A and B are shown apart, each in its own frame.
Chain A
C-alpha cells in the first residue's frame, strides 16, 4: 500500500503544471515504464490532448501559453478538493513512451530555427537589392576629353553615383571643349537602372524665346546672332538629374568641376582646330580675349585657365540653379543677347523646365534599345533598326548587300526624322512616333527597298498624315 501511495504521489507530482512545462521544454527526460491499464488510459487521453493541441497555432509561444491555460483551471479545481496535499491523483502517465510532448518541443526548436533562417535570408536578399553595394566593382567613363574622363572616374572613386560622374564630366566638357557644349547650351541625358530595368530621359534642350518670330529670324539672323540664342537648359538639366539620382552634394560636384577651370588644362586638338577654323571677324573683345589671346589662336597643348567659368560654377554650386535662372547671370545673358539683336526675356528663364520623360524603345536582335523621344530623333533610329532586323543580316550575307541595305534604310530613317518635332507643341507627333517604332511599319518600309538598285532620297517614302498643329 505504501508503495502504491508513493507511486501515485510520484505520478501526481509529475503531472503538476510546472513539470508539464519542463517536459515541453526538454524533450529528453528520464522515462518510466507505463503501468498496465493506467498507461493505456494515459495514451488514449494524451492522444486526445494532442489532437486538441494540434489544432492550436503552430507558433511555439502561443502553443505553450494555450497548453498552460488549458491545464491550470482543471488542476486547481481538483486540487481544492483535496484536504491535505495540493497534488491530485491521476491515472495518466506523462512519461509514457508515446508521449508526444517531446515531439512538440522538437517542433518548437525546428520552427524557431526555420523562422530565424528565413528571416536572415529575406534580410540578405533585401540588402542585395536595396542596400548599398558592398563590393566596389568595375565602372567605365568615356568623354571627349581625357581630363573630363579622369574627373568622372574621380567622382566614382569618391562613391558618387554614375549620374554624379556624368554631371561632373558633362560640365567639365563645357570647360575643356567650350566650342561644343557648355552651360550656355543644352542637351539630353538618358539614365538606365540595370537592376530595376527602369529608364529616364532628362531633356534639357534649349527652348525658343517667347518673343521669337520666324520671319524676323530668317531675315536677320546673320546680322543679329542674338536671335539664334535659345534658353539654355544645361544647368537645370544637370540639377534635375542630380535631384533624381545624385549621391554627392551638388556643391561638391560643381566644386570639383570648378577646380578644373581654376587649376587649368591643356587645349585639346579639337578646340584648337575649331578656333583655327573661325571665319567671322566681328567677335566681341571677351571672345577674342578668351580664344585668341594676344591675337593668336590657342594651340593644342597650350595651358589655359578659365577663372570666369570657375566663379560661375562655384556660385551655382553654392546658391543653386536660381543663381542662373533668375539672378544676375540671367540679366547679364539677356543684356548681351539684346546687344546682338536677340529677344530673350526674363520670363523665358523663369519658365524654363528640364523635362523627365520615357525613352522610345524596340527589341533588336534580342536586345532592348533605348533612345530619346521627340523632339529628338530616337524614333527614327528605332525605325532604322526595325527595318534592318528584317533583312536577316549575318556574317554569311555578302558585305555588298549589307552596306546597300544599311544605306537605303538610313535614307528612309533620316527622311522620317524630318517629320518629327516637339510633341508639347504638336500632339500629332505622338501618332507618328507610334507608327515609326512599330515592327509592322518597318516591314512595310523594308519592302520599298530595292535589293539591287539605290533609289533617290525622299521618293516613295509615305509620310505620316498631320492631324493637327499650328502649321
Chain B
C-alpha cells in the first residue's frame, strides 16, 4: 500500500492509504497505462475460511461488495480541548499494519517516546495461521529471548511493515518516515 500523510497550515489532518492488493495488482495494464488491481483476493473464500475462522463468512465475495481491508489511516487528537499531541499514521503490508500501528501508538501515547524513536523501534506481529510471532530486524535479541521464555515461537524477518507518521504539538509540526524505507520522505514547512 501507498501512504500519504498531511498536516497542513489549514488545521486539517489527512491520511490516505491506497493499494492495488498484490505488487502490480493483477498484472493487467491497459493500453493507456492503467495498472489494474487484484482486490478480489481480499475476500474470504469458503473452503479456506471455514477451517480457520468461521466469522470470515462475512467477507465472502458478493457483487457490489467491498472486501475486508487492513488499510488503516489513523489520526489521534487530544480527547478534550485542542492543546496536546496530534498524530497521523499510516502503514502498509496487510494485517501487519494493524500490529505496527498499535505498537507505535503505545510507544508515543503510553511510553511517551518521540515519534522518530517510536517509528524506528523493532516491532512484532503474530501470524494467526502458524501461531508464529514474527519480529523485524530492529527487534532486540534480548526481547526475543523474553518472548520465547513466555512460550512464543519467534521468527525474525527483515521488515514487517512500514509506518510513517506526522505529529503536531501545539503549532510545532513534524513529518517522519519509517527509517526502514529508503525511498520515503517527510518534509516540514517551517
Contact = CB atoms under 8 A, between A and B. Distances in A.
Contacts of B26: 225-226, 228-229, 340
Interface stretch (A43-51, A184-192, A437-445): A184-192
Nearest to A160: B8
B24 A377 contact: no
A418 B54 CA distance: 9
Contacts of B38: 225, 228-229
A144 B71 contact: no
Interface in B143-190: 143, 146-147, 149-152, 162, 164-166, 168, 171-177, 181-190
Contacts of A221: 40-41
Interface string B33-62: 111111111011111000011111111111
The 10 closest A-B pairs by CB, nearest first: A187-B18, A162-B8, A308-B33, A421-B58, A419-B55, A140-B175, A146-B185, A162-B12, A181-B2, A228-B38
B64 A421 contact: no
B36 A333 contact: yes
Contact of B28 (A162, A229, A359): A229
A190 B75 contact: yes
Nearest to A145: B183
The binding surface of chain B is classed by DSSP as: mixed
A228 B60 contact: no
Dominant SS at the A interface? mixed
A43 to B, nearest CB: 57
B11 A193 contact: yes
Given A140-B186, A232-B34, A381-B74, 6 more contacts: A138-B189, A139-B188, A187-B19, A226-B26, A290-B33, A371-B72
A295 interface: no
Nearest to B145: A400
Nearest to A368: B79
Nearest to A162: B8
B31 A286 contact: yes
Interface stretch (A87-95, A106-114, A273-281): A273-281
A180 B92 contact: yes
B65 A425 contact: yes
Contact of B99 (A210, A214, A414, A456): A414
Given A141-B175, A187-B1, A399 B24 contact: no
A300 to B, nearest CB: 8
A48 to B, nearest CB: 55
Given A144-B184, A156-B9, A336-B28, A372 B73 contact: yes
A268 B2 CA distance: 13
A10 interface: no
Contacts of B55: 418-419, 463-464, 466
Contacts of A395: 111-112
A381 B72 contact: yes
A188 B71 contact: yes
A377 B29 contact: no
Interface in B52-93: 52-80, 82, 84-87, 92
Most chain B beta carbons < 10 A, residue from A245, A371, A402, A429: A371
Nearest to B15: A190
A369 B18 contact: no
A150 B17 CA distance: 18
A102 interface: no
Nearest to B165: A142
B79 A377 contact: no
A39 interface: no
A169 B47 CA distance: 40
Which range contains the number of B residues in contact with the other chain? 35 or more
Interface size band for A: 35 or more
B106 A381 contact: no
Contacts of B143: 399-400, 403
Given A143-B185, A187-B19, A469-B57, A393 B73 contact: no
Contact of A454 (B39, B75, B152, B175): B152
A269 to B, nearest CB: 5
Contacts of B82: 194-195
B14 A189 contact: yes
Interface string A202-226: 0111111111101001100100011
Given A234-B18, A471-B58, A194 B77 contact: yes
B67 to A, nearest CB: 6
Contacts of A340: 26, 28
A356 interface: no
A369 B17 contact: no
A254 to B, nearest CB: 15
Nearest to A461: B53
A94 B188 CA distance: 71
Interface in A351-402: 351, 359, 363-372, 374-378, 380-381, 384-385, 388, 393-395, 399-400, 402
Given A190-B74, A270-B183, A375 B29 contact: no
A370 B1 CA distance: 19
A180 B19 contact: yes
A179 B7 contact: no
A245 B71 CA distance: 21
Contact of B9 (A138, A210, A414): A138
Contacts of A138: 9, 171-173, 188-190
A99 interface: no
Contact of B128 (A312, A378, A452, A457): A457
Interface string A170-182: 1001100111111
26 contacts: A137-B171, A140-B175, A142-B4, A142-B6, A157-B189, A165-B6, A177-B2, A182-B25, A182-B34, A203-B66, A210-B64, A228-B38, A229-B39, A286-B29, A336-B30, A336-B31, A340-B28, A365-B110, A375-B69, A376-B71, A403-B143, A407-B124, A410-B98, A453-B151, A463-B53, A471-B58
